[in-house]
Amino acid sequence: MTENMVCMNIGRGQRQLRYVSGLVFALIAIGLDVLIISLNLGHGWRLVLLPLIWLGTFSLLEAIQKTCVQLAGRNEQSLDDQLIISKTMRGDKIEDDNLTRALRKKARTMTMQAVVITTTVMVLVLIFPA
């Protein structure tokens, strides 16, 4: 496998779903943070934002990287241009061993990126004064 090999397992339809869901999670997190601040609740309440920030980060990373971590873990792909809901959680089997190895490596890297980004955002949210 070359370093320039295209390594992706989701097509345009799945990426659009992830862009939209990532933005929705981000907007909900921002709205909840504003509500927590305006109600003068303690900083501990901001921990409620963690799942939203995690899901939003992961959704956007998957869209940008054109790779679904869950599908990569099962050696599957969903490369359709249209959104096919049944292929959101189950895709077509990948037969190329080099591609499956590359996708799994990319999925591990993306997971670590999501951890770093989510942790950074949560630290910023928690230290931001109310």
Question: Rounded CA gap, 64 and 61, in Å?
Answer: 5
Record the tokens describing residue 57, joined without a space. 């980060």
Residue 1 in this model has a pLDDT that exceeds 50:
no
Q: Summarize the confidence of residues 103-118 as an average pLDDT.
A: 96
Record the tokens describing residue 59, joined without a space. 């959704």
Q: What mean pLDDT value characterizes the chain?
A: 90
Question: Rounded CA gap, 10 and 34, in Å?
Answer: 34
pLDDT at 5: 61
Q: What is the pTM of this model?
A: 0.87
Residues whose CB is less than 8 angstroms from the CB of residue 63 and which lie 6 or more positions away in sequence, other chains included: 15, 16, 18, 19, 22
Ranges of each domain in the chain: 12-127
Residue 119 in this model has a pLDDT that exceeds 80:
yes
pLDDT at 80: 84
Share of the chain above pLDDT 70, in %: 94
What's the pLDDT tens digit per position in 30-40? Answer: 999 999 999 99
Say how many CA atoms lie within 13 Å of 93 toward its Cβ: 2
Share of the chain above pLDDT 90, in %: 75
Give the bridge partners for 93, in sequence order: 76
Q: Which amino acid is at 112?
A: M
